[in-house]
A and B are shown apart, each in its own frame.
Chain A
Amino acid sequence: MNARLFALAIAFVALVSVPYWMPGIYYVNVASQILFYAVFALGLNVLVGYGGLVSLGHAGLFGVAAYTTGYLLQLGLGHPVAILAALVVGVGSTAVYAVLSLRSTGIGFIMITLALGEILWGLAYRWISVTGGDNGISLHTRPEPFGFSLSDAVTFYYATLIIFLFSLGIMAVMVRSPFGAALMGTRDQPRRMNALGYHVWAIRFWACLLSGLLTSISGIMFVYYTQFISPQTLALTSSAEVLLMVISGGAGTLLGPIVGAALVVAVKTVVSGFIERWNFLLGAIFVAIVIMMPEGLVPGSARLWQLMWRKKSLPGKVVATEAKP
């Protein structure tokens, strides 16, 4: 077994055994949060990391799926219908979002996504008959798939873990596929890709839909976790927070967004219990990452690791060179 597979096996065992080694239910809930935010970050990473398109409105799409679930449950529909409808509405909204925002790239794309996110946030505040306005929507039950009630923290964690692994699997397959190569090509050389026969806009559009699907999945997990959704969830700060997860962990990598999600959620939920000014700490960590590992924690750590190994192996080589007559 090679080192990579061994590390993956250890990570898998660690994730599966979380309820057994975590000190309490509170921390199991934190682990659930990390996992569904990781799915959110993986979704945003499709655009930011692999497509080179920085979105500042993804919290809006996250909120659309969460609100749809909440609203339909409030109407008395069942969980399967609410979840399915939330996915359809979430991906459908992403399609509209993509058509509008893909008219531009770079700063233009950022500004359009920011504006669309703000529109969705405004709708959540003002469309009171649907969203409940400031009061939001409360959920009273969680689903019971195959008879397992997700009301229990441990069961909810395992459901989140399954969905997280599924999402990670989707991403792992996509980045190795021809479509993934094409998407990364449009990030690096869109003009060349066009000249090679690729439909650059369509590739970006499908990438947006995949991103929207993962964002919607995480939005549904979020609303079931908190059993409450309010306009605050769609705010610009939420979009910035998930962007922070992607960039701090390492955009364009599979593990980066997961590490970023763990970092941000841990500081927000755990460290904030000990440090009042946790926002300051999060900012300081982000500045440190940008200075020391501008490529993000995961690729930055890999680079440091390689440097360390090179340094360790260098002295021997130098001696051997010097020993030559």
Chain B
Amino acid sequence: MSALTLSGLCKAFGGLHVTNNVDLDVAPGERRLIIGPNGAGKTTLFNLITGEITPDRGSIHLFGQDITRVPSRRRPHLGMARTYQIITLFPRNSIIHNIILALLGLSPTRWNPLIDIKHQGHLVDTARAALQRVGLGHIAERPLGQTSYGERRRVEIAMALAQNPKVLLLDEPFAGLSIDERGDVKQLLLSIPRDVTIVMIEHNMDVALEFAERITLLHFGEVIVEGNRAEVVANPRTREVYLGH
């Protein structure tokens, strides 16, 4: 059974077809890279998968379950997590509070108005462990506003990982990072266990190609090339629309 299956997915904004009959089949544990020039519809595809945008046609299956009409807020409960291209965190709070919010999102405790969040030992411990995993354990209490861009990228990934997802969608996790930070994030992504399926959008081909097993090239909302690294890189269409000659 596939981890994620998209069948004939279409989305148009007025006359602009941003996603056109996209089929995608991602195997469990696979590392899939989505590439394409700006405006190819990569982030829109992520928004369709996570339910932030409703498709006009087509279907989305997560481990065999049709989630096309499942509200976006329910999808994390089914094992789907994502990060954003533009960092979307809670800047007024500490790093650990950001992770606790991610943990609470899947916990029935989130409705409780009577308990003190700081006294929820298991939540705090799990959040701290998630931060250790991304190398931020030593600055867990630091306000997010006092962290570097690279640290915030790692907080984004830590929030997604804290939810123990089965499918993780990473939207340009290397964007805006320095060479050193890129190396750190790459190591972090390589350390994610195989029971997590990863679909990643990335423009930085140096790091992305090392990471990806299969690559899908989108152009004007359509899948035009798909295959393993060697096949996609060697394909003339890839050079024509994306890599250049």
Contacts and interface: CB of A to CB of B under 8 A. Distances in A.
Contacts of A198: 73, 105, 110
A179 B111 contact: yes
B157 to A, nearest CB: 14
Interface in A237-279: none
A199 interface: yes
A68 to B, nearest CB: 25
The 8 closest A-B pairs by CB, nearest first: A196-B105, A197-B105, A197-B76, A179-B113, A192-B88, A177-B113, A176-B116, A174-B113
Nearest to B88: A192
Interface residues of B, number: 36
A180 interface: yes
A126 interface: no
A185 B117 CA distance: 14
Given A178-B112, A179-B110, A182-B111, 15 more contacts: A174-B113, A177-B114, A178-B107, A178-B110, A178-B113, A178-B117, A179-B111, A179-B112, A180-B113, A181-B100, A181-B117, A182-B104, A184-B92, A192-B89, A199-B73
A193 B89 CA distance: 9
Contacts of B88: 189, 191-192
Interface string B45-76: 00000101000000000000000000011101
14 contacts: A177-B116, A179-B112, A180-B113, A182-B104, A182-B110, A182-B111, A188-B91, A188-B92, A195-B81, A197-B105, A197-B163, A198-B73, A199-B73, A206-B111
A320 interface: no
Interface string A180-224: 111011001101111111111000001000100000000000000
Contacts of B100: 181
A191 B117 contact: no
A131 B115 CA distance: 41
A322 to B, nearest CB: 27
B82 A195 contact: yes
B212 interface: no
A225 B163 CA distance: 51
A302 to B, nearest CB: 15
A193 B101 CA distance: 8
B112 A196 contact: no
Contacts of B117: 176-178, 180-181
Interface of A: 173-174, 176-182, 184-185, 188-189, 191-200, 206, 210
Interface string B101-127: 110111101111111111010000000
A194 B115 contact: no
B242 interface: no
B115 A177 contact: yes
A197 B77 contact: yes
Nearest to A177: B113
B211 interface: no
A192 B84 contact: yes
Given A191-B52, A191-B88, A195-B50, A178 B72 contact: no
Interface in B20-39: none
A173 B73 contact: no
Given A181-B100, A181-B117, A188-B90, A194 B111 contact: no
**Is chain A's interface secondary structure helix, strand, loop, or mixed overall?**
helix
A196 B81 CA distance: 7
B173 to A, nearest CB: 15
Nearest to B87: A192
B199 interface: no
A318 to B, nearest CB: 23
Given A181-B97, A185-B90, A196 B159 contact: yes
A196 B82 CA distance: 9
Contacts of A182: 101, 104, 110-111
B118 to A, nearest CB: 7
A49 to B, nearest CB: 12
A153 to B, nearest CB: 34
B114 A195 contact: no
Nearest to B169: A195
B163 to A, nearest CB: 7
Contacts of B105: 193, 196-198
Contacts of A178: 104, 107, 109-113, 115, 117, 120
B72 A195 contact: yes
Query: Which of B77, B97, B102, B104 has the most chain A CB atoms inside 10 A of its CB?
Result: B104
B215 to A, nearest CB: 25
Nearest to A198: B105
B52 A177 contact: no
A188 B116 CA distance: 20
B77 to A, nearest CB: 5
A206 B82 CA distance: 27
B113 to A, nearest CB: 4
B113 A196 contact: no
A210 B111 CA distance: 13
Contacts of B84: 192
A186 B76 CA distance: 16
Contact of A194 (B72, B90, B114): B72
Contacts of B107: 178
